[in-house]
């Protein structure tokens, strides 16, 4: 009898342990699936922010954020995707929602300032930048500060911010181009020429800097192309820019000659240069 009781007790214990093991196993499996879902979602978010079509990414983050509006990673993804899609007005709204959340960072505030600059809200951008402590020093912060100072024609601060920004990046070509354009608008043509030349030295594929360099040279009545690496198409386009600069300054014959060179240089029919040349030749 005692032996039967022991067997029954052992069986009951085994069944109880089996039930516990089953419950524990189910919980473990459920937790594992949750972890996998988090990883999968994180990977999907990353894909949407990099290789996905920007408008598709906007739809993804907007739809996902509806069920979890306080998820800052989703709000941040939406704002970033709107910038990528060039939907800047909507991006301002999304960034404002992002920075209103408790987990918002100074980087998020920079995102808001950037979107405000893209919509021409310089006053708003300045106000946003002022909410970021001076201890937060980054390339993006000083690039935006320089642009705001430029818009306010505060040249001394602009130059200071541009200089700091150049020192905080390993790829300064674009910021040098921006700084050069700032100098160009102020009438400091030689300073602009120097900065555009440095930008091209850093990145020989930056056509905007090449075009700006030609404008700076033309403003100094130098109507020869700079010695920089350029394709045949780029050469024709730069000749066209230089020609228009010459005509604008009243050096019409030089402009005509440059337009002829542009038409002859371009590997295809260069409509813009041909039309400009025809207009000059016909009075």
pLDDT, tens digit (0-9, with 9 covering 90-100), for 126-184: 999 999 999 999 999 999 999 999 999 999 999 999 999 999 999 999 999 999 999 99
Given the structure tokens 């405000």, which residue do they identify? 116
The percent of residues above 70 in pLDDT, for the chain, comes to 85
Distance CA 186, CA 216 (A): 11
Among candidate residues 166, 195, 220, the one where a domain is terminated:
220
Instruction: Decide if 273 contacts 240 (C-beta within 8 A).
Output: yes
Same domain, 238 and 209: no
Instruction: Decide if 146 contacts 165 (C-beta within 8 A).
Output: yes
* Mean pLDDT to the nearest integer, 53-64: 92
Same domain, 215 and 268: no
Number of domains comprising the chain? 3
**pLDDT at position 41, please?**
60
In a domain, 215, yes or no: yes
Same domain, 144 and 81: no
**pLDDT at position 27, please?**
54
Same domain, 144 and 206: yes
Same domain, 73 and 93: yes
Distance CA 115, CA 189 (A): 30
**pLDDT at position 40, please?**
56
pLDDT value at 33 more than 70: no
pLDDT band at 48 (very low <50, low <70, confident <90, very high): confident
Given the structure tokens 């069986």, which residue do they identify? 11
* Mean pLDDT to the nearest integer, 187-212: 97
Among candidate residues 220, 240, 262, the one where a domain is terminated:
220
In a domain, 89, yes or no: yes
Distance CA 268, CA 239 (A): 15
In a domain, 241, yes or no: yes
Q: Please provide the average confidence, as pLDDT, over all residues in the chain.
A: 88
**pLDDT at position 42, please?**
61
In a domain, 7, yes or no: no
Instruction: Decide if 214 contacts 246 (C-beta within 8 A).
Output: no
In a domain, 246, yes or no: yes
In a domain, 128, yes or no: no
**pLDDT at position 43, please?**
75
In a domain, 3, yes or no: no
Burial of 78 (0-12, 13-18, 19+ CB in 10 A): buried
**pLDDT at position 26, please?**
52
Cβ within 8 Å of residue 203, ≥6 positions away: 171, 173, 174, 209
Distance CA 77, CA 117 (A): 19
Same domain, 142 and 215: yes
Tens of pLDDT along 77-129?
999 999 999 999 999 999 999 999 999 999 999 999 999 999 999 999 999 99
* Mean pLDDT to the nearest integer, 204-213: 97
Count the neighbouring beta carbons within 10 Å of the beta carbon of residue 48. Answer: 23
Among candidate residues 220, 247, 269, the one where a domain is terminated:
220
In a domain, 28, yes or no: no
pLDDT value at 269 more than 80: yes
Same domain, 211 and 152: yes
Show the tokens assigned to 245.
């600069």
Could you give the C-alpha distances from 34 to 28, 31, 67, 130, 234, in angstroms and in order? Answer: 10, 5, 17, 41, 54
What is the SS3 assignment for 168-199? CCCCCHHHHHHHHHHHHHHCCHHHHHHHHHHH
Same domain, 216 and 251: no
**pLDDT at position 283, please?**
73
Question: Please, what is the Cα angle at 249 between 243 and 251, to 5 degrees?
Answer: 65
pLDDT value at 185 more than 90: yes
> Which CATH number fits the domain that encloses residue 76?
1.25.40.10
Structural domain range at position 91 = 52-120
Cβ within 8 Å of residue 179, ≥6 positions away: 146, 159, 162, 166, 195
Same domain, 215 and 144: yes
**pLDDT at position 34, please?**
44
Cβ within 8 Å of residue 211, ≥6 positions away: 237, 238, 241
């Amino acid at each position: 009898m005692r032996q039967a009781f022991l067997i029954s007790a052992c069986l009951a214990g085994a069944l109880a342990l089996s039930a516990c093991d089953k419950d524990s196993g189910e919980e473990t499996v459920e937790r594992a699936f949750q972890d996998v879902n988090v990883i999968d979602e994180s990977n999907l978010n990353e894909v949407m922010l990099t290789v996905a079509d920007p408008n598709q990414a906007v739809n993804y983050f907007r739809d996902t954020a509806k069920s979890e509006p306080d998820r800052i990673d989703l709000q941040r993804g939406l704002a970033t995707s709107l910038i990528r899609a060039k939907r800047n007005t909507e991006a301002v709204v999304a960034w404002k929602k992002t920075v209103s959340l408790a987990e918002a960072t100074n980087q998020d505030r920079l995102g808001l300032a950037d979107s405000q600059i893209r919509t021409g809200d310089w006053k708003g951008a300045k106000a946003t930048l002022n909410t970021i402590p001076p201890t937060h020093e980054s390339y993006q912060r000083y690039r935006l500060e320089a642009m705001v100072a430029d818009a306010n024609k505060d040249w001394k601060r602009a130059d200071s911010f541009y200089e700091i920004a150049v020192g905080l990046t390993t790829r300064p070509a674009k910021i040098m181009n921006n700084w050069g354009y700032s100098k160009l608008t102020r009438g400091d043509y030689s300073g602009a020429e120097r900065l555009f030349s440095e930008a091209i030295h850093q990145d020989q594929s930056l056509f905007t800097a090449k075009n700006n360099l030609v404008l700076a040279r033309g403003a100094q009545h130098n109507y020869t192309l700079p010695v920089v690496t350029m394709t045949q198409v780029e050469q024709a386009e730069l000749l066209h820019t230089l020609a228009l600069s010459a005509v604008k300054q009243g050096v019409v014959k030089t402009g005509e000659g440059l337009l002829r060179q542009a038409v002859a240089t371009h590997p295809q029919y260069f409509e813009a240069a041909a039309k400009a040349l025809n207009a000059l030749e016909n009075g």
